[in-house]
């Protein structure tokens, strides 16, 4: 079975109710022909998942969250569980984004527990990995990402997982790796995912590229072997940019 590409928009800590007009506009541009080529989801801040549900559903877009707690409920003031996100209408959740690894000290162990929590709740985790600039310059990119996959993926993932390779130095900088570097990394990621999951399961895992994906570079990046879609930050805030990226799959 060929993998259906996935383009996911990560709004990060951006968006108010007025931004929902962008979700509606995305739905209008997401016609039947494009739907047959690529799955689209938006991961707005948690505050907007409920309010966005109607426009997203009407337009055929899915919704995802940007993080979840490892527990289903309990004394964790301010936290949100995967079950709550599912209840709101989310079908995906990003876990282990480099901004959370950096801002909140999330380790591979925590990320793995969050991915397992997502699967427990019936959400598809988008598990993020990626090296820093210093690690790439030191020739450590593959080793770092290999370690992150080993540590962050639940070994017996009973359900759909997505992996996003996002070099930290490419996020929000306008810089991207060369297609050759992306090809090398994504082939390696698939090998490491197979080593982790076994039984040919990696063939069904979509491996997204993320980091400064824009309308101008989407076609080139999305045509690299083993790139099964994109995790888009800044360019996902406006329907016109996000849909121009999705158009790479038409
Ligand atoms: P960017 O962010 O597209 O703005 O570089 C990507 C991400 O952090 O997911």
Structural domain containing residue 160: 6-249
Indicate whether 98 belongs to any domain.
yes
1: in domain: no
Q: What's this model's pTM, rounded to 2 decimal places?
A: 0.98
Phi-psi region of 174 (alpha: psi -120 to 50; beta: other; left: phi over 0): left
Distance 129 CA to ligand 1 centre (A): 13
| pLDDT value for 156 | 81
Q: How many domains does the chain have?
A: 1
Question: Residue 217: inside a domain, yes or no?
Answer: yes
Which of the four pLDDT bands, split at 50, 70 and 90, describes residue 157? confident
Q: Is a pLDDT exceeding 70 seen at residue 1? A: no
Atom 1 of ligand 1, nearest CA residue: 233
91 CA distance to ligand 1 middle (Å): 20
The CATH number of residue 236's host domain is: 3.20.20.70
Proportion of the chain above pLDDT 70, given as a percent: 100
- Summarised one tens digit per residue, pLDDT across range 101-132 is 999 999 999 999 999 999 999 999 999 999 99
Q: Give the mean model confidence (pLDDT) for residues 9-38.
A: 98
CB-ligand 1 contact for 211 (6 Å cutoff): yes
Residues 6+ apart with CB under 8 A from 166: 97, 98, 128, 129, 130, 209, 210, 211, 231
Residue 241 Cβ contacting ligand 1 at under 6 Å: no
Q: Looking at the DSSP assignment, which residues form a beta bridge with residue 232? A: 9
Residue 63 within a domain: yes
What pLDDT is attached to residue 159?
A: 80
Does the residue 160 lie in any domain? yes
Average pLDDT over the chain reads: 97
Nearest CA to ligand 1 atom 3: 233
In a domain, 97, yes or no: yes
Q: Is 166 a catalytic residue?
A: yes
Assigned domain for 124 exists: yes
pLDDT digits (tens, 9 = 90+) for 177-223: 999 999 999 999 999 999 999 999 999 999 999 999 999 999 999 99
With bands split at pLDDT 50, 70 and 90, how would you rate the model's confidence at 166? very high
How far does the centroid of ligand 1 lie from the alpha carbon of residue 212, in Å? 6
When pLDDT is averaged across residues 21-26 and rounded to a whole number, the result is 98
Tell me whether residue 22 is in a domain: yes
């Amino acid at each position: 079975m060929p993998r259906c590409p996935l383009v996911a928009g990560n709004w990060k800590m951006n968006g108010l109710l007025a931004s929902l007009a962008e979700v509606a506009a995305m739905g209008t541009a997401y016609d039947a022909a494009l739907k047959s080529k690529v799955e689209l989801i938006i991961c707005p801040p948690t505050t907007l998942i409920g309010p966005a549900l109607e426009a997203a559903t009407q337009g055929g877009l899915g919704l995802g969250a940007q993080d979840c707690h490892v527990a289903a409920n309990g004394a964790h003031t301010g936290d949100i569980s995967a079950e709550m996100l599912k209840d709101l209408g989310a079908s995906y959740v990003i876990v282990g984004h480099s901004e959370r690894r950096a801002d909140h000290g999330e380790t591979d162990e925590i990320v793995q527990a969050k991915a397992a929590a997502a699967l427990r709740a019936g959400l598809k985790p988008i598990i993020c990995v990626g090296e820093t600039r210093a690690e790439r310059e030191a020739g450590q990119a593959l080793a770092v990402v290999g370690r992150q996959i080993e540590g962050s993926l639940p070994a017996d993932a009973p359900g759909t997982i997505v992996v996003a390779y996002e070099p930290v130095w490419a996020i929000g900088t306008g810089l991207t790796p060369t297609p050759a570097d992306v090809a090398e990394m994504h082939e390696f990621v698939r090998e490491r995912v197979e080593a982790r999951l076994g039984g040919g399961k990696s063939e069904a895992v979509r491996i997204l590229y993320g980091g400064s994906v824009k309308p101008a570079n989407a076609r080139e990046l999305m045509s690299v072997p083993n790139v099964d879609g994109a995790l888009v930050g800044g360019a996902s805030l406006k329907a016109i940019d996000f849909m121009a990226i999705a158009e790479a799959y038409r």
